Chain A
Amino acid sequence: MFRRNFSMLFASAIIFTVIGAGVFAPWIAPHDPRIGNLEDRMIPPVWVEAELAPTVVVERMDLTISDAQITLRQAKKIDASYEIGDQLMAPIKKGGTRTYLLGTDIQGRDILSRLIHGARVSLIVMVLTVLIGGVVGTVLGLIAGMSGGFADEFIMRAVDVVLALPLILVAMVFVASLGSSFELIILILALTLWVRYARQVRAEVLQLREMDYVASARVSGASKARILWRHLAPGVTNTVVVIATIQVGVVLLVEASLSFLGAGIPPPNPAWGSMIAEGRANISSSWWISTVPGVAIVLTVISTNILGDWVRDKLDPQLRQLN
């Protein structure tokens, strides 16, 4: 019991942080997420200490032994009294500063600010895609299950086709020709999400419509639309909510993958997936650029999964196989 409470507490804390960061991004982000300061490139997070080494102050860096040298201009910044030929301990690797708590990237942009604005981007994508996919999928599932016949055949065939198409490649094709945009990524994600709802809702409607209460509604002269809306739709709400909470984490992962491939959120908008991609080339010198957004993704997805499991167990333990 204690463990369950602890993990729920952890998950809610993370989710509230992400939602809070996303909603209030413009007010709490300490820097501009899109424009950086090139003088402050690749500064590590605040807890990383600078590496100092003995250096000689010179007029101009000698490229062959530059590690042990520092230019007069830089030395003057540390202390104005330094002259050429002086020896001092100077940083050969930058340390973290309070100005940039989680460091900066290659363009000198604050990673914390990008992370906060990235949460906003992810939130918008998650909410919109799950909403659109959920509504479309549920409606189509209801229609397929209720009417049967041609409509059912057609909708279920569409489900098969969507499942057989490789989503990532399809997204890449569209982005390559139409350019990446918010609308496109949301459309593509929603297009692939609705199938889960449609399948499950249809299966449940097939069971529900044989129930006595539906039969008595039909006998009492209720119209098809009324049966669908008043008697069948409420019966599948739990299922829909469970699928939606389970899908939130999936959406975040897929969106990150697409952004990583350059087929997701268009730059310079900060998205967690593209932040990871930007740090990839400099992973050996500046590990934090890729690591920080990755940790954010892992923590958020874990939290939504914990919450999803909890909702499923509360609403419908029968749906265990859906995970």
Chain B
Amino acid sequence: MMVTLIVVSVVVFLMARVTGDPRSVLISDLTTQEQYDAMTEKFGLNKSWSEQYWIFVSDGVRGDFGVSTRDGLPVWNSIKDPLKQTLQIGVAAFVFALLIGVPLGVLSATSRGKASDQILRFFAMIGQATPPFWLGIMLIFFFAVKLGWVPPSGRGDWKTYILPTVTLGSFQVATNLRFVRSSMLTVLGSEYIKLARAKGVSRRMIIWKHAFRNALIPLITYWGVNLGTLIAGSVVAEVVFVWPGMGRLAYIATSSGDYPLLQAVVMVFSVGFLISSLAVDLIYASVDPRIRRG
């Protein structure tokens, strides 16, 4: 994981170097040679790439991502708040997807073949095929414009959280549902469930105590894979709902060529992804005794 982190930092660093020059957005016809040199000095562009990389990494681990080329303020200042906002809707969407998707998956598996199963699978199919940004626009149209129940965009009281959470979570609800369903069906078909049934254990006990807990284990590893889609979704959802988070910040940073800011945003997302996959591994190990001992 450390190696991955280092390679990611090199890639992010190189990406920012080869795609352009931060000075280009600041100079005009009136810029003197002295001012240009001062800028070069300030951003450290007179140093070699290896030196620049070292500064980027050594400051980065201390939480110092340099100063923004746009407003000259430390990058960390402009990241702190958006990071909080993104985490808020990210966590909300995750919990939403868990609370809705997992029980529905169990219901779908236990009523296999019945009408409720077919309806749930139909909706899961639609959920997995709907682009989040389009769903967001449609939700704004119906619930904000037509019905006026919630504000169309921006961040404020609890009402403003509903649409972004649903938008971001809908895809995950569908994947959780499908995954839990197929995982439950696998477990319910296994020998020890047959044994429990033969012993006369109640249906409820079999489903929740014997099957459900084992069916959840593969879901945990699946979260790791799903984090990527959650991150991608947060960028578009934030743009749709004008949510002051990391996704919108990245959008602004790219359009203004603010490389220090952009580097920091991409780095924070990548580190976040690596930390979450590590967390997923740890949770997995603590839930599955076979791995814990091994």
The finding on whether chains A and B are genuine partners in a shared complex, rather than unrelated, reads yes
Interface of A with B (CB < 8 Å)?
3, 157, 160-161, 163-170, 172-178, 249, 253-254, 256-257, 260-261, 273, 276, 279-280, 283-284, 287, 290-291, 294, 297-299, 301-302, 305-306, 320-321, 323
Q: Does B63 contact A (CB under 8 A)?
A: no
The answer to whether B228 and A305 have CB atoms under 8 Å apart is no
- Does A256 lie within 8 Å of B270, measured CB to CB? no
Residues of A within 8 A of B251 (CB): 172, 261
Q: A176-B257, A291-B138 are in contact. Are A276 and B133 (CB under 8 A)?
A: yes
Contact of A167 with B129 at beta-carbon distance under 8 Å, contacts A157-B7, A177-B19 already known = no
> A256 to B138, alpha carbons, bound, how many Å?
16
Say which residue of B20, B137, B140, B145 sits within 8 Å of A276 (CB atoms). B137
A162 → B minimal CB distance (Å): 9
For chain B residues 31-60, which have a beta carbon within 8 Å of chain A? none
Residues of B within 8 A of A257 (CB): 131-133, 232, 236
Q: Which residue on chain A has the smallest CB distance to residue B272?
A: A166
Cβ–Cβ < 8 Å partners of A256 in chain B: 131, 133-134
Bound Cα distance from A116 to B35, whole angstroms: 53
Which of these, B15, B145, B273, contacts A284 with CB under 8 Å? B145
Neighbour of B131 across the interface among A161, A170, A294, CB < 8 A: A294
Instruction: Summarize A's interface: helix, strand, loop or mixed.
Output: helix
Bound Cα distance from A170 to B8, whole angstroms: 12
Binds A, one of B89-97, B192-200, B261-269: B261-269
Q: A83–B141 Cα gap in the complex (Å)?
A: 40
List the A side residues contacting B228 at CB < 8 Å.
163, 166-167
Contacts of A298 in B (CB 8 A): 126, 129-131, 134
Determine the chain A residues whose CB is within 8 A of the CB of B5 once the complex forms.
164
B3 within 8 A of A: yes
B266 touches A305 (CB 8 A): no
**Contact: A164 with B131, CB < 8 Å?**
no
Known: A257-B131, A276-B134, A287-B141. A165 touches B118 (CB 8 A): no
Number of interface residues of B (CB under 8 A): 49
CB atoms of A157 and B8 under 8 A apart: no
Contacts A165-B266, A280-B240, A294-B138 aside, 16 further interface pairs with beta carbons under 8 A come to A161-B4, A161-B7, A161-B11, A163-B273, A164-B270, A164-B274, A166-B232, A166-B235, A168-B232, A168-B235, A172-B251, A176-B257, A257-B132, A283-B137, A301-B130, A323-B178
B16 at the interface (CB under 8 A from A): yes
State which of A169, A261, A306, A323 has its C-beta within 8 Å of the C-beta of B265: A169
B232 pairs with A294, CB closer than 8 A: no
Q: Which residues on the B side are within 8 Å of A299 (C-beta)?
A: 129
A261–B235 touching, CB < 8 Å:
yes
**Docked-complex contact A166 and B133, CB < 8 angstroms:** no
Contact status of A169 and B4, CB under 8 A, knowing A164-B274, A294-B134, A297-B131: no
The reply on B102 being an interface residue by CB < 8 A is: no
Chain A nearest Cβ from B169, distance in angstroms = 16
**A115 to chain B: closest CB distance in Å?**
14
Partner of A174, one of B12, B19, B250: B19
> In this assembly, does B85 line the interface, its C-beta being within 8 Å of a C-beta of chain A?
no
Cβ contacts A to B, 9 pairs, < 8 Å:
A165-B266, A170-B15, A172-B250, A176-B255, A257-B236, A260-B131, A280-B240, A283-B137, A301-B129
The answer, among B4, B8, B218, for a CB contact under 8 Å with A321, is: B218
> For A172, what are the chain B residues with a Cβ–Cβ distance below 8 Å?
250-251, 254
The minimal Cβ–Cβ distance linking B274 to chain A, given in whole angstroms, is 6
Q: How far is the CB of A231 from chain B (nearest CB, A)?
A: 31
For B15, the chain A residues whose CB sits under 8 A away are 170, 173-174
**When the two chains form their complex, are residues A302 and B118 in contact, meaning their CB atoms are under 8 A apart?**
no
Contact of B134 among A165, A175, A297, A323 (CB under 8 A): A297
CB-based contact B131/A166 at 8 Å = no
Distance A51 CA – B178 CA, assembled complex (angstroms): 44
